[in-house]
Structure 1
Amino acid sequence: MRRLIWIGLLLCMAGCTAQPKPDASLFSRIGGLPMLSRLSNQTLDIVSKDPRTARSFEGVKMVTLKQSLTNFLCVKTGGQCEYEGETMKNAHADAHITMAEFEIMVEVLRERMDINGVGTKEKNELLKILAPMKRDVVSD
């Protein structure tokens, strides 16, 4: 009888440990606010100075934009942040962002994620979240 109890306990323990744990949020896996802030700052620093995209950032308060982008990414990745900015459509309505400008921004973000050691799975998840926004950002 004692042997059956032990076998039952072992089977139960094995079953409990074999249960898959829920995945941590993308926010956690990507590195939280420190990483999202780094990615936002680096990406915006580069594209705001690139002659191919700089016109879109003329007159923009970069400190505010960087914080807004960080909060936006935080919310989109499952972090507990508040994004109080405009919708992507409203924020870019008068900017006349071209497909080429959008693609440069995405490429810079990809490079920044690679340079900062963001994993392939996390990078792809973030890009998948952001991809549908292209139709709200690109107007030309």
Structure 2
Amino acid sequence: MRSFVIAMLVWVCAGCALQPKPEASLFQRIGGLPILSRLSNQTLDIVSKDPRTKRSFEDVKMKTLKESLTNFLCIKTGGDCVYEGETMKKSHADLHITTAEFEIMVEVLRERIDANGIGTREKNELLKILAPMKHDVVTN
């Protein structure tokens, strides 16, 4: 009987060892809050000074916006953060963002993703998550 119990335990443990580990979230694979914060800060620093997009950032509290964007990206990538900002539609409603301005922001974000060594798979996953928001951001 004891041999049977030991054999069953070995069999069960072997089965546990063969179970695939759950894949890390996009948040984890990107590098967590430090990387998302860096992406947010760098992207907003660039677009808020770019003559083609800076009008949208006039009178904006950049520190608050950077923190909000970081938390938004955290939530969207599977991190455990709290986002207390408005919806994309509501927060951009009165800004009259054009398609060109939106595309500049996306291009800067792509460049910052590459510059920070984030992998192609993770970049594509993040952009796929953010792409549908164009309809809520672009109003002109």
**What CA distance in whole angstroms lies between the structure 2 residues aligned with 1:93 and 1:104?**
18
Instruction: Select between 68-77 and 11-20 the one with higher mean Cα deviation.
Output: 11-20
What displacement does 1:22 show?
Answer: 1.1
Letter in 1 for 2:118: V
Letter in 2 for 1:129: I
Alignment partner of 1:77 is 2:77: yes
**1:40-99 deviation digits (Å, cap 9, x = unpaired):** 000000000000101110111101100000010011111111000000000000000000
Alignment partner of 1:63 is 2:54: no
TM-score (norm 2): 0.89
Alignment partner of 1:21 is 2:30: no
Letter in 1 for 2:95: A
Letter in 1 for 2:73: L
Query: Which ranges of structure 1 fall in alignment gaps of 5 or more residues?
Result: 1-5
| Aligned twin of 2:48 | 48
What displacement does 1:16 show?
Answer: 3.8
Q: What SS does the aligned partner of 2:126 have?
A: helix
What displacement does 1:21 show?
Answer: 1.4
What displacement does 1:17 show?
Answer: 3.6
Identity among equivalent positions (%) equals 78
What displacement does 1:20 show?
Answer: 2.0
**What CA distance in whole angstroms lies between the structure 1 residues aligned with 2:86 and 2:48?**
20
| Aligned twin of 1:134 | 134
Instruction: Select between 114-123 and 15-24 the one with higher mean Cα deviation.
Output: 15-24
Query: Which ranges of structure 2 fall in alignment gaps of 5 or more residues?
Result: 1-5
Letter in 2 for 1:132: P
What displacement does 1:125 show?
Answer: 0.8
What RMSD in Å do the two structures reach over aligned CA positions?
2.0
Residue correspondence of structure 1 range 61-140 to structure 2 within 5 A: 61-140=61-140
Instruction: Select between 55-64 and 8-17 the one with higher mean Cα deviation.
Output: 8-17
What displacement does 1:19 show?
Answer: 2.6
What displacement does 1:13 show?
Answer: 6.0
TM-score (norm 1): 0.89
Letter in 2 for 1:70: T
